[in-house]
Amino acid sequence: MKRRTLTGLLGVGLAAPSLVKAQSSRMRVVGYLHPFSGTYMAPFVAAFRKGLEEQGFVDGRDVRIEVRTADGFEERLLPLAREFVAQKVDVILAAGGSDPAKAAKEATSTIPIVFVSAADPIRVGLVTNLSRPGGNITGVSLIGSSLEAKRLEILARVVPGERGLGALINPNYPDAKLQANEFRTAARQVNRRIEILEASTVEDLEPAFAQAARQRLAGLAVAQDTFFNSHRSEFVRFAAQYKVPAIYSQREYADRGGLMSYGTNFADSYRQAGIYVGRILKGTKPEDLPVMQPSRFELVINLATAKALGLTIPLDILGGADEVIE
């Protein structure tokens, strides 16, 4: 089994003296489980580290963060989670969708687990109640699927007219059916035809954009999905190649040249997960930590990409953007 240990990515620092006294001489260990590679994870690992530091834990001094990635192979997650159990880590951070959290939950009922996932944590069986999650698991819900309607609404405003809109989903995503329903409902509300396109592998991506262009869809709403997010560069490249205006769930798409994004600030959610892990290391039980949900969402627009596509962004949408990339 291929395994990557990315502890060095997180940096080394000094802990506050009061915290050192409070902890035993044994360095605490956090297992960080993720389905994709370190390149995709880098900004989120940094944000997680920041959250830990806010609780007084600095990697390399009073805590050691062991990162394991499945490199896109879901079947590797459970063995990696069991590795952490055998290692007797103090907390497991299961991030990058619901699959790592489900693997960690199957591997242990005693080691605390903190998840970061956009799928509905109740729907996928991680917890039964957001306020009182119970058991050994809590985390941060990005509520990504519930924002699909808003993304389509914004897209419809940016590409007005009678041409249909497209929505790209991964049929293997836990909330795929919910996403499709959200898109269809939103399309009826804006009085536009909707085409639901699917992609579940890297090889499916270019044909999806080619299909959108062939059907002369006015734009494409790309659903929230961990697999999609791990291939941001490909999405941006194909959208430019086929001249398809697209809206995404993460600002990192717009940073890389995507037209626009609307959704949770993922990096801040990982910071919040770091805070929860720090609180657990201090003695708080997961069952006493409610599942956190974002209270704010951000709209990022890339004007350079809009110009390349020949689009004029409505002034009210520009005015409501959290960031405009010139």
Structure tokens at 280: 């657990």
Q: How far apart are CA 51 and CA 57, in angstroms?
A: 9
Alpha carbon distances (Å) from 222 to 46, 73, 297: 26, 22, 17
Give 274's Cβ-side CA count (13 Å radius): 25
Place of tokens 């010139």: 326
Cβ neighbour number for residue 282 with a 10 Å cutoff: 13
Q: How far apart are CA 262 and CA 86, in angstroms?
A: 40
Q: What is the pLDDT of residue 25?
A: 55
| 9 vs 104: which has the higher pLDDT | 104
Q: Closest Cα to residue 226, out of 102, 93, 137, 99? A: 99
pLDDT per residue as tens digits for the range 257-291: 999 999 998 889 999 999 999 999 999 999 999 99
Answer whether 41's CB lies under 8 Å from 226's CB: no
Q: What is the mean pLDDT of residues 142-151?
A: 84
Q: Closest Cα to residue 289, out of 309, 310, 275? A: 275
Question: What CATH code would you report for 145-263+298-325?
Answer: 3.40.50.2300
Count the residues in the chain. 326
- Residue range(s) occupied by CATH 3.40.50.2300 in the chain: 7-142+265-288, 145-263+298-325
pLDDT per residue as tens digits for the range 18-51: 444 444 457 999 999 998 876 677 788 899 999 9
Alpha carbon distances (Å) from 266 to 168, 171, 294: 20, 22, 10
pLDDT per residue as tens digits for the range 171-207: 998 889 989 999 999 999 999 999 999 999 999 999 9
Q: What is the pLDDT of residue 2?
A: 39
Answer whether 88's CB lies under 8 Å from 48's CB: no
Q: How far apart are CA 184 and CA 278, in angstroms?
A: 41
Q: Closest Cα to residue 42, out of 192, 180, 230? A: 230
| pLDDT above 90 as % of the chain | 75
Q: What is the mean pLDDT of residues 106-126?
A: 93
* DSSP reduced 3-state for 313: coil
Answer whether 62's CB lies under 8 Å from 19's CB: yes
Superfamily of chain region 7-142+265-288: Response regulator (3.40.50.2300)
Question: Quick one: three-class SS letters along 38-105?
Answer: HHHHHHHHHHHHHHHHHCCCCECCCEEEEEEECCCCHHHHHHHHHHHHHHCCCEEEEECCHHHHHHHH
State the burial class of residue 287 (Cβ atoms within 10 Å of its Cβ: 0-12, 13-18, 19+): middle
pTM above 0.85, yes or no: no
